[in-house]
Chains A and B, each alone.
Chain A
Amino acid sequence: MKDLTKVFHSGVASATLAVMLLSVAPAAAESGDTIKAIIARGELLCGVHPSRPGFAAPDDKGNWAGFEADYCRALAAVVFGDATKVRFVALSSQQRFPGIQSGEVDVLARNVSATMGRDVSLGLNFTPPIFYTGTGFLVHVDSGIEKLEDLDGATICMAPGSTTEQNIASLFSARGMSYTPIVIEDNKQLVANYVEGRCDALAKDKAALPGVRAIDTENPEEHKMLPGIFSKEPLAMAVRQGDDHWYDLVKWTVYATFVGEEMGVSQANVDEMLQSPDPDVQIMLGVTGDLGEKMGVSQDWAYQAIKQVGNYEDIYLRHFGPGTPIELDRDLNQQWVDGGILYGFPIK
């Protein structure tokens, strides 16, 4: 009977793999399972966008570079004290949710907008948003389109299943305007459709458009973004619901990058800051207190994240700062003390 069960299980394994990973990889639902699995594996599995310059894309040497890729590294620095122990898993917009649900990745840092629908029906938990953006439109300069209202009757290129698709349906119906969507999953085909004039506008998260304009078009000056942000897209990392410990760890890693910037602890000065007399800095960097230990990681977890990857400002400027191909104003993505809405909970 035991043999029969074994035969059954192997059959099940291969058959189900074809249907979906869901049933074979029993996703960690218990608190603490995820971190155990990560440590046993020796690396963090991080789900990222296959190619979104600025957020996550392989550079010319094949290394993953980008804002979200760096958040994966910061997590690895917190868990292992080594930011290189990450395996990046490129997930298409369709693969991303099954990918995290099935346990194929430990965390999703893949341009996911946190919405209530996704939170309650997909079995996910969202970290505090690491990037606030919204739907934007890229249009051809010679089209004469100056504002959203000019797009009545236009053909608009967009990716399938994105919140963008829903936002535009709402935006246009609220204004009594019509449009024709062209929905293509492959990003290259999608952008080519817009660039070659099949679509009047390309709709994406506004933060992604400068990357498209600078990198995917031949003559960036022939394209411009419409002024305004047309929806709320809080891009957040997502973990599976049920493992509170892992959720805490990801959440506080995000907060450490916020608080680091707020307190002036950066990649450049973090070693000097170890001598700082400020008790808050001392607690965050693990000079005093035992918060790291209580979270189940080493005492210098925040030091490692900031030292090896950087605080929020370091990460932001590395990918969107002046001199990068995709310069983006920080806009909402500033610390609350500077007029933005990044508000790291106190680490104490």
Chain B
Amino acid sequence: MQDHYHAAPTGRNKPRSLHDLLYSKAIRTTFYQVLMAVAICALGLFLYNNVVDNLTRQNIATGFSFLGQVSNFEIGEKLIPYTPRSTYLNALMVGLVNTLVVSAAGIIIATVVGFMVGIARVSGNWMLERLALTYVEIVRNVPVILQAIFWIVVLRNLPPPKNAFVLGEFGFLTNRGLYFAAPASTPVHFWMWLALAFGIVACIIGTVAARRYREVTGRYVDMLLPGLALILGLPFLVWLVAGAPTEISYPVPKGFNYVGGVSISPEFTALLIGISMYASGFIAEIVRSGIQATPKGQVEAARAIALKPRFIMRYVILPQAMRVIVPPLTSQYVSLIKNSSIAVVVGYPDLVNIGNTMMNQTGQAVEAIAVMMIVYLGISLTASLVMNLFNRFVAIKER
């Protein structure tokens, strides 16, 4: 703001002319910013009115009231209650949940595979490095849509339910999906999941506390085993306390398919493998670059003070690599979420697939597309936000 005064060449004693005022830096920057904002708003308003005008003139119904109408179509895979008598909004929620599930699973798989392959790329083992390089070059250079189609074709050509691959008594692999035995559903499962969540939180708190303790006293507490005990032990304990229910539900052939047990559809699997392998190739390269960005001297110094290799990775390389890894990782996660929309090609009922059906049945293309855009924007922004927080957490703190 002090530039305001320096900008006027005549100095602060003389009264400033209109010319000086107009050319002052503060006024000009504010003016252009306001002008820009007004222009953008006007453009938006103009576009909106234009669309509404045209729709009205063409006698096309507008508005979002159609979301409350009965959808009258069935959805193949649903994780929340839905029937053809539910509303379009319900249908969209089913699609949203499906998108979130396949994206979350995809992010986990892509991250695990990506880190493994990325570390393998710089492992020093010639065979492993070549294998990892080949994997990366294949998965990231083939368009993701082709990869998904490739996997759906592979899965569709598995044997039909009648002569399925039998995996012991415990599962069946067919072109209708993978059916496998699972513990029969009991209310205990809910408490076990709760215990798992509690264990994860406790583990994080414990790790942070252990670090504080180390920073204060210099004594190292290994949280690996206690952490595992918390995460896996707690649900196990709940299971024991609840009387250790051991009933297993087996898939049995009935009618066209199998009933009982748990099944994973080929559409879900093909989409999941497609999008997560594609992203894992990029993530592997990001991880490799992060590791290679760590100065060699750091590793040598760590070795010189006889740190165990596990600690070198954990306390020397990874913290420095993470600040290089996390920002580009965020964009990989966001693009994986968006890539999940190729579900329409393989027939997985994700948000776009259901949105398409809705758009076609109601004819309200503008509204349907707007809903889909807003939802994707919301998901992607949330993912970015979480990753930015994580980035702040892993960023090197200068003390």
Contact = CB atoms under 8 A, between A and B. Distances in A.
Interface stretch (A7-15, A74-82, A297-305): A7-15
A172 B58 CA distance: 35
B357 interface: yes
A248 interface: no
B269 interface: no
Interface in B226-257: 254-257
A160 B356 contact: yes
A240 B50 contact: no
Nearest to A97: B363
Interface in A151-182: 152-155, 160-162, 165-166, 168-170, 172-173, 179-182
A8 B38 CA distance: 13
B255 A22 contact: no
Contacts of A101: 58, 60
Interface string B359-370: 111111110010
Contacts of B153: 192
B360 A123 contact: no
Contact of A16 (B50, B55, B359): B50
Contact of B76 (A123, A162, A183): A183
A20 B58 CA distance: 14
B360 A94 contact: yes
B84 interface: yes
B73 interface: yes
A39 interface: no
B206 interface: no
Interface size classification for chain A:
35 or more
A165 B266 CA distance: 21
Contacts of A121: 60-61, 362-364
B156 interface: yes
B347 A183 contact: yes
Contacts of A31: none
Given A12-B46, A27-B57, A179 B357 contact: no
A174 to B, nearest CB: 11
Interface string B20-56: 0000000000000000000000010011001100110
B118 interface: no
A182 B353 CA distance: 11
Interface size classification for chain B:
35 or more
Given A22-B51, A189-B345, A182 B361 contact: no
A300 to B, nearest CB: 33
A329 interface: no
Nearest to A143: B256
Given A19-B51, A121-B61, A166-B73, A198 B175 contact: yes
A200 B162 CA distance: 12
B255 A20 contact: no
A23 interface: yes
Interface in A86-141: 93-94, 97-98, 101, 117-118, 120-123
Contact of B356 (A120, A170, A182, A185): A185
A161 B352 CA distance: 12
B157 interface: yes
A169 B46 contact: no
Contacts of B353: 160, 183
B344 interface: yes
Contacts of B152: 189
8 closest A-B pairs by CB: A161-B360, A169-B84, A123-B59, A184-B347, A123-B58, A122-B363, A153-B255, A121-B61
Interface of A: 8, 11-12, 15-16, 19-20, 22-23, 26-27, 29, 93-94, 97-98, 101, 117-118, 120-123, 152-155, 160-162, 165-166, 168-170, 172-173, 179-186, 189-190, 192-193, 196-198, 200, 240-242
14 contacts: A11-B43, A16-B51, A19-B369, A23-B47, A94-B356, A101-B58, A153-B255, A155-B76, A169-B84, A180-B74, A180-B76, A185-B344, A197-B156, A240-B58
Given A183-B353, A197-B175, 15 more contacts: A22-B55, A121-B364, A123-B59, A123-B60, A153-B254, A155-B76, A165-B74, A166-B73, A182-B76, A182-B347, A184-B344, A185-B345, A192-B153, A193-B347, A242-B59
